[in-house]
Amino acid sequence: MGPGPLAVTMGDPAGIGPEITTKAWLALRDTPYRFFVIADPGLYPNIALLDRPEQAAARFADALPVLPIDSPAAKAGKPDAGLAGPILKSIKYALRFAENGQAAGIITNPIAKHVLYEAGFSHPGHTEFLADLTNTPLPVMMLSARDLNVALVTIHMALKDVANSICAVSVINTARILDQALRRDFGISSPRIAMCGLNPHAGENGALGDEEQNILIPAAQTLRAEGINITNPKPADTMFHAEAREEYDAALAMYHDQGLIPVKSLDFHGGVNTTLGLPVIRTSPDHGTAFDIAGKDIARPDSLIAAIKQAAHMAACRKQYDAGHA
């Protein structure tokens, strides 16, 4: 399972984070998975207060372990910029525990970026915030659902800007990080990566765009020369059906919706967002705060449960990999 329990952040307490955290604990309390949440204790009905993360495992079966932080009272479904401080403090504490080995990894509950922006937050999201805190030059977003893993070369940008943002350096660096993560964090000794084309039909030999010919194919050739098993760009519309997924361990998508549509179509409720390239393990549910259903007891915890399980799997794989490569 990996060293130590997993740290779950509070997320936006006005959203569904508190509800799905409680439901995840109820679903996992009798399993080997162990986690604690860094949050306002008043958000949860049955808790065990912690002084330090090491206490979580012994208390997990009886109550949700909470490492308390001070926070104004949140109202379900009512986002409040006054909660930004505790939301960010929870993330920073989780990162600190993961960096010093008190937590095996981080699972971040959903945040609402527009709420944080009102309080002066300047990052596009969790991924970029954690990268800044850890001095990570290139965080890579990977989405997972069932047997599908998709990493993204570009993340949060307008579609009209994607083509000009794709270059050989970004493709090569993203693929390198993906390959290393598959080896270290997923236990795949010889990863197979399938590259998506940027254009329809992967450019059709330049008839529908020249990015494949000028950027993606040369990048793939460079990566293969380094020993990375990656395909030339493939038409994205043929890459994600069941038979195609058997041919690779992860796909490398060029832009956000190219990767997220197949993931969410395959398992809308159980997808996981993982940040690769960080010095710590970080996963999150692949959905937002859902303010519209907060407090109604109808939110599904599937994605958070999957994120917890994936983080635990990654921690175990990383521990084994590092022991073998010390």
| pLDDT tens figures, 264-315 | 999 999 999 999 999 999 999 999 999 999 999 999 999 999 999 999 999 9
- Mean pLDDT calculated for residue range 204-211: 92
Q: Are residues 226 and 293 in the same domain?
A: no
Model confidence at 1, in pLDDT bands (50, 70, 90)? very low
- End-to-end Cα separation, the chain, in angstroms: 19
Q: What is the pTM of this model?
A: 0.95
Residue 199 vs residues 166, 203, 286: alpha-carbon distances, Å: 12, 5, 26
| CATH classification of the domain holding 172 | 3.40.718.10
Number of domains present in the structure of the chain: 2
Residue 127 is labelled as binding a ligand:
yes
Q: Are residues 114 and 216 in the same domain?
A: no
Q: Are residues 2 and 131 in the same domain?
A: yes
Output the DSSP codes for 106-121.
EEPPP--HHHHHHTT-
Q: What is the pLDDT of residue 3?
A: 56
Q: Are residues 239 and 157 in the same domain?
A: yes
Q: Are residues 153 and 65 in the same domain?
A: no
Q: Are residues 3 and 133 in the same domain?
A: yes
The partner residues of 67 in beta bridges, in order of sequence, read 38
Which residues lie below 8 Å from residue 144, measured CB to CB, with a gap of 6+? 150, 263, 271, 272, 274, 306, 310
Residue 156 is labelled as binding a ligand:
yes
Q: Are residues 65 and 33 in the same domain?
A: yes
Residue 126 is labelled as binding a ligand:
yes
Q: Are residues 320 and 257 in the same domain?
A: no
Domain boundary residue among 225, 243, 266? 266
**What's the alpha-carbon Rg for the chain, to the nearest Å?**
20
Residue 92 is labelled as binding a ligand:
no
Q: What percent of the chain has pLDDT over 70?
A: 99
Residue 256 is labelled as binding a ligand:
yes
In tens, the pLDDT along 229-261 reads 999 999 999 999 999 999 999 999 999 999 999
Q: Are residues 296 and 274 in the same domain?
A: yes
Residue 325 is labelled as binding a ligand:
no
Q: Are residues 168 and 186 in the same domain?
A: yes
In tens, the pLDDT along 135-157 reads 999 999 999 999 999 999 998 88
Euclidean distance between CA atoms 144 and 314, whole angstroms: 13
In tens, the pLDDT along 58-105 reads 999 999 999 999 999 999 999 999 999 999 999 999 999 999 999 999
Q: Are residues 8 and 107 in the same domain?
A: yes
**Structural domain containing residue 198:** 147-266
Q: What is the pLDDT of residue 2?
A: 45
Q: What is the pLDDT of residue 185?
A: 98
Q: Which of 87-101, 111-125, 204-218 has the lowest mean pLDDT?
A: 111-125
Exposure b/e, 18-41, CB count within 10 A at least 16 = b:
bbbbbbbbeebeeeebbbbbbbbb
Q: Are residues 132 and 274 in the same domain?
A: yes
In tens, the pLDDT along 177-198 reads 999 999 999 999 999 999 999 9
Domain boundary residue among 266, 289, 307? 266
Domain boundary residue among 219, 245, 266? 266
